[in-house]
Structure formats: structure tokens, C-alpha cells
């Protein structure tokens, strides 16, 4: 059990623990026995057994689910009907209402419920007050748009017997072929099947049934009873229907078995991605055993997995049940909208028949099998066809990434714990002393008085406002942790209000549930309850959360929820939430609801002055969490393997719609060697969320402590992040409006190149063409980077040309982060070193134009706003497109922003902010001798006309490409202008 020491005598505790760690860093391993394997989870085992039975019976297996043809109705883009589940023993047909919504966005949504539970015609056991229906409120938290039914969707007239066919999607190019007996759906795009439901016959809705009490075996007949039990179909194994015990905790299961399961096949698709959060490769592995495969399904059951292991399908802190399948030229996907414990099996098979004869373009098929413990079956179908289109429609559905404040994408300095307010101020000064930029310093749980949130430890933090004031002098921020467990102690006003207002999570008997977390005995706020959200909002006002200032933001940790004495370190499943839903129904959404409340609270509090965008870091998440803040990958370790794992984890989160992601730089547990720390900063400079963090038992490791040359190398990585902030912010804007990942894997950027589909050690930053391949191996002084095509790339630091499809080895001595620029792009930087991003607000820009050897030209964008308020929603931003046309040799800046009420005021505020340098990498050889360019700016006085500006050309030498620099073209970042490179060498007479 983890424990946190009290606030007394910190120095002694630190010294002692630091010494211990210096001498001995134990190898940390996950306590596997604390978490269920599939075999130990009743419904997982039953559904796998169901699939085994189907496979063993092969062609004689028929799914007992049929769609009652008489029941089918179609109206306004919605198909309804009744799926019948045939019970072989009784011959009874159970009614499962089916709805298929064909949406204007081109998505289809298939939902299956259970009539008996819907109508409440079931009996609960143990006097439970739980709702009788299957949980159907996941959409309330996860879905925010894209629900409009399609006007164009239509049932096809010439459907074959026993089939209903619906044409839908863009230009009616999509088809849902619904077979009635057994019930199967094929989703087609342009005549080809891309996704199949129940094709393997694994649809399984565990229906309600009364518990039949069995007589205990008569004396002498125990063996017989045991034998009888053994021959029972394992898919119908009753032993975990009514009660389930694990690790000494018993789940009372008042509703009996109620899992839902479905097989989803992707014919012709070899790669599947998504369903975070797990460690392991980006391209998901098979899960039914065999060399290099997992033995267990990927699990989604948000948990605080202490000392988590690498390359594992074990669950972690967050869950996004969204999967994409990809092959050259096509991406499709499914969102399994269920908030209960979920497992996903993946198997792949080579197609034996000629795939083309089947109308399928790939040679491998990926078959997935999803099962959730409770709730309705509710699946969205995405037919792509591109990864960009899928990210966009997923964003439309679940919400786009929040556009964060600018400080939030700069560098964050955290540890458990900065121990006093003087300590914080000292760290702040030391960053300045060493000219190292940072924006945010963090406080972990020790700042509170005995882990009571909304309080400060008066001994160690006597002057929190003074501390925040010092930070504010350099536009820096403070983030303080607030967890969902409320200390159960006398005279704690937050607890008293929680109890008196009746807003806590209850146990199965209807009493306030008491569990164990950092403060010891605790209660948990139930943020599913609208009244709890209102109350939570009231706690953050400046007069209630005393000592907090406008530059204080929030870290929501432990929100799975983490419960030290709970089953699998979390809440009992039979706990009760608002609306009488059991915890089992909504577990994976719990973390999201807490952040949602904090978002509402911090937004409201800022409204008392000037509204500012909230910043919240969360550990637990679900589909939709991207609307509210950032996530990080929890308690990693100071090991090379964990540095390496962070890339696929961050990339996977990005393609799964929650791209504001990062890992603890340096590793949370343990003390990193200096070279590991340096390499981690280099990689971290390319995490969308860039924060160093460390466990309470580790040695201090702020960058300025690293010593030469490590300190200088880390500073270089940090300055690179700061210089590229305009490019990062532009990438965040794309995530905010298009749903696109911020850092992008190869398959997403080059979707037609199969050789790059499994790559997860290199990534692109937004649409900038910057390709980073951080060193992830101990002692390595080079990295291999893969280029998907013949487009030239250049080394970011020395402009060396790297070209040709395939692997390239790049030099990477410790001081060098391997970073390439892809030809055809323009990206913005701000090169002046500052203490924090806020101080860069009016700094001039550098534009880097990266040209190919052919005539392709280049383009890129810049998005800029005040980085703080919501004024951008009313047009207060600059959005420019830069285009270099190779034929005319003109670089132009044009406006691509939409105007709003606040556009002019913002433009005024940015007047005079200019481009101070244009660097053209891969400049044409014919520019030799060029000494000037012609510059013209919109709105300039006619008399000013075209100006001549100095340009310095550097010839190519060796592998190094030619480049040119235009110094101070005196054009404004917010204005239209053009720089004409076609004019010749300067007329000497003019000089
Ligand atoms: C667990 C979090 O994952 C870690 O980052 C934090 O330092 C501790 N809780 C203490 O709050």
C-alpha cells in the first residue's frame, strides 16, 4: 500500500529516502495478482467460452439471434426492429429492441437493448435499489454532436429475401446490408465490405433471468453435482452470475448476468489502432496467444495500476473504446459506447481465397470481439475513408480537443512535492538564474493540511498568494492537485457539506461509502449528480478556496477512482450513484465526470473577473475527456523501456481523439541516469503535454541541477519547444477544429504506405512537416528513421539532406535530438529566448520555408490568439496561410481566418508584431548571387510600394542543402504581404 507521510519533519524524511534510493533502486513490478485476468472476470470468461464454442462448432454454429422481419420499420434515417434471442432449452424468443440510426455525418449507430429490463419487468436481488434498465447514459457524457439523422438514407427497394439494405452516407455510397437470420450486418463503402457485425456469430446479450436456488447436494452426491457442473456449457457457467469474489471482495450483482458482446470484423485490414490506455505497440497485437501475441484481451477498466508493466493488454487509468482499422487507402472504425468493464479480443487471419475475388483489397482480416459487463450494446460505425475524415467525425461526435491556454502547451515543472512556498519561489528563481524557460510549477498533495483539499498547510505554505504573485511576475502559473476523495474527518467543512447535501457516492445499502485513499478514511463526491457539480463549483470561488489566485489551475488525479482498499484498487461495483445507477454501469466514465465538474467550477470562478480557459490535467479519462483538458500516462518509471513506451502511448491517444497527452518526463519512480534524463527531455519536447514529474522518494532533478553538459542540452530541448510554440499552438488549433492528432504517426500521415503502418518510434508535429525520432535506447548515438516517399527532408539543425524512401540512420550524439524538416512546408517559430511563453506574446516570428529539389513549392499555416480568453470564439485571432510558389518564386501570407466581433480589436493589439526572419531551406541553386528580395505589404502606403530587403544566400556544400535568409522583411504577422525571390542580384550602382 502506498502511503504519504504527514507534513512533519520533511527534510529528515527526504534525506533518509534519498540516501536509500541512491544506494538501492529496487526493480518495480506490477502486482498482477491485484488485477483480474480474463479468466478471473466472470463475463469475460463466459464470452470467450462462447466464442470458443462457436469456433469449435465451425460451420455448424449458428447465432441464436434473428431480426424479426415483421418488426422492421424505417423512418427519417432510423431503422427500428426487434432482434429475437432464441433460448434453445425453452424455445422462448427474448425481445431485444434494435435501433440503427443513419446519421447525416455518414456514421451509423447500432443500439440493442433488452425489453424486459427496459420495461422494468425484472426482480433485483438483495433488496437493491438499483435501476432495472441497462445503463444508457454513456452518451450523455461522451457525445456532444453529430446526432442528426440522415435525410438521404433510404431502404433499398430491391433487397433480397431475408435482407434489409439501407443506402446512406455521402452520395449514398455506403450500404448497411442487414441479414435477418442469423442477424448480421455488413457495412459497405463503394460496394466493398469494410466492417461486419456478428459475422462470426458472437453477438451475446446476457438476458435477465431469475435466480433458481438449487438444493444443496445430498450427502454422498457431492461428486455427482460437481460432475454435472463440469458438463455445463462454460458460456453459461453460473458460478459468477449472482456473486463474484476477487481479492477478498465480493460483488453482490443484484441484477445477475447482463453482459453484452459482439464480434466486429474488418475484412482486408491488417492493422488496428486505438482502445487506449495500454502499454505496447501502436499497431495492436493479437490476443489469443501465440508467438509475440498477448494471451489476454485488451482490457478497459480504469484502474490505478501501481508500477504498471510494459507491452501489456492490462488495463490502465483511462479508457477510450474507439478502434480504427487501416490498410493502404482506407481507414474505418468503431466506437463501442459502453462505460462498464470491457475487454477486446483481436485475432488476425490471412485470407485463403483470392481476396480480390471476394471484392476485398487486403490479404489479412482482423477480427475483433468486444464484451462489456453491463449496459446496452451501442456501436458507432465510421467508414472513413481517410484517417483525417475519421478523426474529424469522431471529433464532431465526442467533441474536439479543448483549445488550451498557451501556457498549458509550454513546459511544466512538477514533483511530489515542492515542500514549502519558499521552495517554490526558490525553484522559480533558479530557472531564471540559469536562463531556463518554464511556465508552470506544480503542487502535489502535500501542500494541503492533512490531505484536505481546498486547504493549505499553514506551516509549509503560510503565504500561497505571495507565492502565486511571484510566479505571476513572469506570467507563470501554479497547478495544485485536487482529488475526488474527501477526508472523512471531523470539522472539515468540505466533508461536512458533502454529507449534509447528500452528494457522496453510496454503498449498496444506501449509506455513504467509505474507502481508503491518501487522507485515510474518505468519501467520494458523485459528479454524476448535477447538484454535486453545482456544489463543486461553489468550492472554487476565491472566498472559499482561500489562498488561490487567478494563475492557479487544477490537477485531478486518482479519479478512476483509486481506492487503496477497494477491489482492484477501485470502487466496489455495487456502489450506487446518482439516478440509482450501479458503479459497474458507469465505471469508465467516473473520471470524466470529475474533470467535467472541475472544468465547470474553474470556468465559473474565472468569470468573476475575465473568463479564461480552464486547464485541468486528468489521469482517468473516457471518450469526450479531450474537451476538458490534458492527460498523462500516470506512474511510469525512470527506465529506458518506459521512455520508449511513451511514444506509442502518446500517439495512440492522439489517433483516439485525446491528443493533449504526455508522460512524466524523467520517469515517476526511481532516479534516472543523466543520459536518460536528457533523452527524456528531448522526447518530452515533442509530447503535446510536456511535464517533468517525480515521486516523493526520488532525488531532486530540476533541469538546472543536471550539471554540465546535461543542463545545457536540456535547456536546448526546452528552448526548441519554446521556439516552436507557434507551430504547436497551430497544431492544437487543428485538433480543436478538425479533431486531428497533434503528434501524428506515420500511418496517419502516409496512409498509403504499408511499410510505415506499424511505426511508433517517430512522429510528425501537426501539419508542419517536422518529423522527430527521439533516441529511446540506452547508449545509442544514432537512430533509424523511416521516410515514406521520395520527398526530401533536411536535418533541422544543419540542413543536411536526407532523401529516399526507406530507413535512414541519423547521427544522434547526446546533445542532438534527431529532427527533420519535410520539403513542401512552411512553419512558424519565435526564436527569442524568454523566461515563459507569456513573455513571448509580442515577439517577432521566424518563418522557415522548406523547399524540395523539384518545383513543388511549400505551404503552412499559423494560428495565433491571446492564448488565454475565449475571445477567439468571436474572431480575436490571426490565422494565416503562407504559400511559396515555385514557379513565381513568391512567398505570400494570406488571411484564412473568419472575422468576428473581436477581430479588429485583436488585430490592433498585434499591430507591429512582425516577421523578423525568413529562412528558406533547400533554396534553388540559381539564387547564387542573390542579395535582395522584393517585399510588398497590403495596406502599405502606395508611395511605399515594393521595398528591397537584404537576402543572404548560402550555397549547398557536401550533404548540406543551400539556404537563404531574409533578415527583417519588416512585414507584420497579421497582414497580407509577399516576398518575391525572383529578383536578381543587387544592382551595385544602388549601393
Ligand atoms: C498518483 C499520481 O499518478 C502521481 O503523479 C502523484 O504524484 C501521486 N498520485 C500523489 O499525488
Closest CA to 443 of 551, 588, 304, 569: 551
Please give the angle made by the CA atoms of 156, 158 and 161, to the nearest 5 degrees. 110
Alpha carbon of 322 to those of 43, 205, 264, 337, 390: distances in Å?
21, 21, 12, 8, 11
Distance 399 CA to ligand 1 centre (A): 28
Which of 28, 304, 485, 668, when mutated, tests ligand 1's pocket best, judged by the most ligand atoms within 8 Å of its CB?
668
Alpha carbon of 364 to those of 242, 332, 702: distances in Å?
40, 15, 49
Distance 799 CA to ligand 1 centre (A): 42
Please give the angle made by the CA atoms of 166, 171 and 172, to the nearest 5 degrees. 5
C-alpha to C-alpha distance for 682 and 684, rounded to whole angstroms: 5
Cell of 527: 459528479
Distance 632 CA to ligand 1 centre (A): 11
Q: Dihedral, CA atoms, 308, 311, 317, 319, nearest 10 degrees?
A: -170
Sign of CA dihedral 867, 869, 873, 876: negative
Distance 677 CA to ligand 1 centre (A): 20
* Half-sphere exposure in the Cβ direction for 88 (13 Å, CA): 5
Q: Dihedral, CA atoms, 248, 252, 258, 259, nearest 10 degrees?
A: -10
Q: How confident is the model at residue 24 (pLDDT cuts 50, 70, 90)?
A: very low
Q: What is the pLDDT of residues 151-194, one digit of tens each?
A: 999 998 777 889 999 999 999 999 999 999 999 999 999 999 99
Question: Considering only 27-41, 487-501, 661-675, which range has the smallest mean pLDDT?
Answer: 27-41
Please report the DSSP string for 502-533 in residue order. T-B-B-TTSSBP-EEETTEEEEEB-TTSHHHH
Q: What residue spans of 374-452 are helical by DSSP H?
A: 387-398, 421-433
Per cent of the chain over pLDDT 70 is 94
Identify the pLDDT of residue 363.
Answer: 84
Sign of CA dihedral 164, 170, 173, 174: negative
Which of 418, 444, 564, when mutated, tests ligand 1's pocket best, judged by the most ligand atoms within 8 Å of its CB?
444
Q: Collect all residues with Cβ–Cβ distance below 8 Å to 826 and sequence separation of at least 6.
A: 847, 848, 849, 850, 858, 859, 860, 882, 883, 884, 891
Alpha carbon of 253 to those of 236, 343, 437, 586, 597: distances in Å?
16, 19, 53, 15, 29
Domains of the chain by range and CATH?
Answer: 65-207+258-398 (2.60.40.1760), 401-632 (3.20.20.80), 749-980 (2.60.40.1180)
Question: Considering only 8-22, 729-743, 965-979, which range has the smallest mean pLDDT?
Answer: 8-22
- Residues constituting the chain: 991
C-alpha to C-alpha distance for 724 and 26, rounded to whole angstroms: 38
Strand order in the sheet with 616-618: 661-662, 630-632, 616-618, 552-556, 477-481, 440-443, 411-413, 690-692
Mean pLDDT of 191-213: 96
Q: How confident is the model at residue 322 (pLDDT cuts 50, 70, 90)?
A: very high
What pTM, to 2 d.p., does this model score? Answer: 0.95
Which of 558, 561, 617, when mutated, tests ligand 1's pocket best, judged by the most ligand atoms within 8 Å of its CB?
558
> Phi/psi at 748 (nearest 5 deg)?
-75, -35
Which is the closest atom of ligand 1 to the Cα of 664? Answer: 5
Please say if the pLDDT value at position 148 is more than 90.
yes
Identify the pLDDT of residue 821.
Answer: 98
Please say if the pLDDT value at position 1 is more than 60.
no
DSSP state of 418: -
Per cent of the chain over pLDDT 90 is 89
Stated as kind and residue range, the H or E segment containing 828 is strand 825-829
Q: What is the pLDDT of residues 352-407, one digit of tens each?
A: 666 666 666 778 999 999 999 999 999 999 999 999 999 999 999 999 999 999 99
Which of 416, 443, 591, 695, when mutated, tests ligand 1's pocket best, judged by the most ligand atoms within 8 Å of its CB?
416
Cis peptide before 182 (omega within 30 of 0): yes
Ligand 1 site, CB within 6 A: 416, 444-445, 481, 557, 619, 634-635, 668, 693
Distance 696 CA to ligand 1 centre (A): 9
C-alpha to C-alpha distance for 681 and 686, rounded to whole angstroms: 9
Q: How confident is the model at residue 23 (pLDDT cuts 50, 70, 90)?
A: very low
Distance 832 CA to ligand 1 centre (A): 34
Q: How confident is the model at residue 8 (pLDDT cuts 50, 70, 90)?
A: very low
Alpha carbon of 225 to those of 213, 218, 493: distances in Å?
14, 9, 57
Nearest CA to ligand 1 atom 7: 416
Distance 483 CA to ligand 1 centre (A): 10
Residue 613 near residue 550, CB atoms below 8 Å: no
Distance 635 CA to ligand 1 centre (A): 7
C-alpha to C-alpha distance for 516 and 583, rounded to whole angstroms: 17
Catalytic residues: 557, 560, 635
C-alpha to C-alpha distance for 35 and 567, rounded to whole angstroms: 9
HEC-encoded secondary structure of 129-176: CCCCCCCCCHHHHHCCCCCCECCCCEECCCCCCCEEEEEECHHHCEEE
Please say if the pLDDT value at position 923 is more than 90.
yes
Q: Across the chain, what does the average pLDDT equal?
A: 94
Please say if the pLDDT value at position 550 is more than 80.
yes
Q: Collect all residues with Cβ–Cβ distance below 8 Å to 724 and sequence separation of at least 6.
A: 765, 770, 827, 829
Q: What is the pLDDT of residues 25-67, one digit of tens each?
A: 455 788 889 999 999 999 999 999 999 999 999 888 999 999 9
C-alpha to C-alpha distance for 81 and 180, rounded to whole angstroms: 11
Q: How confident is the model at residue 211 (pLDDT cuts 50, 70, 90)?
A: very high
Sign of CA dihedral 621, 623, 624, 626: positive
Amino acid at each position: 500500500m502506498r502511503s504519504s507521510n504527514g507534513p512533519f519533519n520533511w527534510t529528515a524524511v527526504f534525506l533518509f529516502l534519498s540516501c536509500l534510493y541512491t544506494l538501492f533502486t529496487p526493480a518495480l513490478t506490477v502486482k498482477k495478482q491485484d488485477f483480474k485476468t480474463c479468466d478471473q472476470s466472470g463475463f469475460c470468461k463466459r464470452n470467450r467460452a462462447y466464442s470458443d464454442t462457436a469456433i469449435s462448432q465451425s460451420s455448424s454454429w449458428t447465432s441464436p439471434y434473428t431480426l424479426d422481419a415483421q418488426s422492421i420499420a424505417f423512418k427519417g434515417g432510423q431503422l427500428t426492429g426487434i432482434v429475437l434471442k432464441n433460448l434453445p432449452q425453452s424455445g422462448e424468443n427474448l425481445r431485444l429492441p434494435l435501433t440503427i440510426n443513419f446519421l447525416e455525418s455518414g456514421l451509423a449507430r447500432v443500439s440493442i437493448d433488452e425489453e424486459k429490463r427496459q420495461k422494468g419487468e425484472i426482480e433485483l436481488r438483495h433488496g437493491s435499489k438499483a435501476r432495472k434498465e441497462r445503463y444508457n447514459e454513456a452518451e450523455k457524457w461522451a457525445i456532444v454532436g453529430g446526432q442528426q439523422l440522415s435525410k438521404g438514407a433510404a431502404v433499398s427497394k430491391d433487397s433480397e429475401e431475408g435482407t434489409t439494405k439501407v443506402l446512406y452516407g455521402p452520395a449514398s455510397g455506403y450500404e448497411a446490408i442487414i441479414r435477418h437470420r442469423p442477424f448480421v450486418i455488413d457495412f459497405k463503402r463503394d460496394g466493398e465490405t469494410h466492417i461486419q457485425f456478428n459475422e462470426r456469430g458472437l453477438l451475446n446479450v446476457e438476458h435477465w433471468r431469475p435466480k433458481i436456488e438449487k438444493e444443496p447436494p445430498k450427502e454422498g452426491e457431492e461428486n455427482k453435482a460437481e460432475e454435472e457442473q463440469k458438463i455445463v456449457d462454460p458460456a453459461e457457467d453460473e458460478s459468477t452470475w449472482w456473486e463474484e469474489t476477487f481479492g477478498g471482495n465480493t460483488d453482490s450483482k443484484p441484477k445477475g448476468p447482463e453482459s453484452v458482446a459482439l464480434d466486429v470484423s474488418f475484412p482486408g485490414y491488417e492493422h488496428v489502432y486505438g482502445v487506449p490506455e495500454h502499454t505496447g505497440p501502436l499497431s495492436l497485437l493479437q490476443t489469443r496467444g501465440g508467438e509475440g501475441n498477448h494471451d489476454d484481451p485488451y482490457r478497459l477498466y480504469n484502474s490505478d495500476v501501481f508500477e504498471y508493466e510494459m507491452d501489456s493488454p492490462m488495463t490502465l487509468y483511462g479508457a477510450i473504446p474507439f478502434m480504427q482499422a487501416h490498410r493502404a487507402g482506407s481507414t474505418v472504425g468503431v466506437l463501442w459506447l459502453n462505460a462498464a468493464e470491457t475487454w477486446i479480443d483481436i485475432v488476425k487471419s490471412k485470407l485463403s481465397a483470392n481476396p480480390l475475388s471476394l471484392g476485398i483489397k487486403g490479404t489479412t482480416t482482423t477480427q475483433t470481439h468486444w464484451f462489456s459487463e453491463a449496459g446496452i450494446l451501442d456501436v458507432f460505425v465510421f467508414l472513413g475513408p481517410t484517417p483525417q475524415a475519421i478523426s474529424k467525425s469522431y471529433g464532431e461526435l465526442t467533441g474536439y480537443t479543448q483549445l488550451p491556454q498557451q501556457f498549458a502547451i509550454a513546459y511544466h515543472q512538477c514533483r511530489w512535492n515542492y515542500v514549502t512556498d519558499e521552495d517554490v519561489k526558490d525553484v522559480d528563481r533558479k530557472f531564471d538564474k540559469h536562463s531556463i524557460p518554464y511556465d508552470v510549477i506544480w503542487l502535489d498533495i502535500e501542500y494541503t493540511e492533512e490531505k484536505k483539499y481546498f486547504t493549505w498547510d499553514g506551516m509549509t505554505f503560510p503565504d500561497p498568494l505571495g507565492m502565486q504573485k511571484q510566479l505571476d511576475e513572469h506570467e507563470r502559473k501554479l497547478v495544485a492537485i485536487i482529488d475526488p476523495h474527501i477526508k472523512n474527518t471531523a470539522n472539515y467543512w468540505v466533508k461536512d457539506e458533502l454529507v449534509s447535501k447528500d452528494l457522496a457516492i453510496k454503498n449498496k445499502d444506501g449509506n455513504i461509502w467509505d474507502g481508503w485513499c491518501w487522507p485515510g478514511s474518505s468519501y467520494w463526491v458523485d459528479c454524476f449528480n448535477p447538484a454535486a457539480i453545482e456544489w463543486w463549483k461553489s468550492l472554487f470561488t476565491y472566498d472559499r478556496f482561500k489562498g488561490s489566485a487567478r494563475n492557479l489551475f487544477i490537477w485531478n488525479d486518482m479519479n478512476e477512482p483509486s481506492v487503496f482498499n477497494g477491489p482492484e484498487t477501485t470502487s466496489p461495483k455495487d456502489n450506487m450513484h446518482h439516478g440509482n445507477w450501479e458503479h459497474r454501469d458507469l465505471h469508465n466514465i467516473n473520471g470524466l465526470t470529475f474533470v467535467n465538474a472541475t472544468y465547470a467550477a474553474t470556468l465559473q470562478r474565472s468569470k468573476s473577473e475575465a473568463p479564461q480557459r480552464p486547464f485541468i490535467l486528468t489521469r482517468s479519462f473516457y471518450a469526450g475527456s479531450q474537451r476538458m483538458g490534458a492527460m498523462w500516462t500516470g506512474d511510469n518509471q525512470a527506465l529506458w523501456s518506459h521512455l520508449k513506451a511513451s511514444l506509442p502511448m502518446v500517439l495512440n491517444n492522439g489517433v483516439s481523439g485525446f491528443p493533449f497527452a504526455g508522460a512524466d518526463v524523467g520517469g515517476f519512480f526511481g532516479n534516472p541516469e543523466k543520459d536518460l534524463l536528457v533523452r527524456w527531455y528531448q522526447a518530452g519536447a515533442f509530447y503535446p503535454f510536456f511535464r517533468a514529474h517525480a515521486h516523493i522518494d526520488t532525488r531532486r532533478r530540476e533541469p538546472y541541477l543536471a550539471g554540465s553538459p546535461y543542463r545545457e542540452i536540456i535547456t536546448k530541448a526546452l528552448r526548441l519547444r519554446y521556439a516552436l510554440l507557434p507551430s504547436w499552438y497551430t497544431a492544437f488549433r487543428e485538433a480543436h477544429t478538425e479533431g486531428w492528432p497533434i503528434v501524428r504517426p506515420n500511418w496517419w500521415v502516409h496512409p498509403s504506405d504499408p511499410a510505415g503502418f506499424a511505426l511508433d518510434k517517430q512522429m510528425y508535429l501537426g501539419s508542419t512537416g517536422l518529423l522527430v525520432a527521439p533516441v529511446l535506447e540506452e547508449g545509442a548515438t544514432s537512430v533509424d528513421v523511416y521516410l515514406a516517399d521520395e520527398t526530401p527532408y533536411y536535418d533541422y539543425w544543419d540542413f543536411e539532406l536526407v532523401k529516399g524512401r526507406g530507413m535512414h540512420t541519423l547521427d544522434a550524439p547526446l546533445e542532438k535530438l534527431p529532427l527533420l524538416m519535410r520539403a513542401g512546408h512552411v512553419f512558424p517559430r519565435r526564436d527569442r529566448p524568454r523566461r515563459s511563453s507569456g513573455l513571448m506574446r509580442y515577439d517577432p516570428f521566424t518563418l522557415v520555408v522548406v523547399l524540395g529539389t523539384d518545383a513543388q513549392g511549400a505551404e503552412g499555416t499559423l494560428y495565433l490568439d491571446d492564448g488565454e480568453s475565449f475571445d477567439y470564439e468571436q474572431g480575436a485571432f490571426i490565422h494565416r496561410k503562407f504559400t511559396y510558389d515555385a514557379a513565381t518564386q513568391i512567398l505570400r501570407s494570406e488571411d484564412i481566418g473568419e472575422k468576428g466581433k473581436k477581430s479588429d480589436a485583436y488585430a490592433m493589439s498585434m499591430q507591429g508584431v512582425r516577421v523578423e526572419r525568413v529562412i528558406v531551406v533547400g533554396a534553388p541553386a540559381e539564387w547564387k548571387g542573390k542579395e535582395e528580395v522584393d517585399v510588398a505589404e497590403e495596406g502599405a502606403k502606395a508611395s511605399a510600394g515594393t521595398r528591397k530587403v537584404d537576402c543572404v544566400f548560402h550555397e549547398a556544400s557536401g550533404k548540406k542543402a543551400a539556404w537563404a535568409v531574409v533578415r527583417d522583411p519588416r512585414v507584420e504577422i497579421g497582414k497580407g504581404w509577399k516576398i518575391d525571390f525572383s529578383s536578381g542580384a543587387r544592382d551595385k550602382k544602388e549601393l
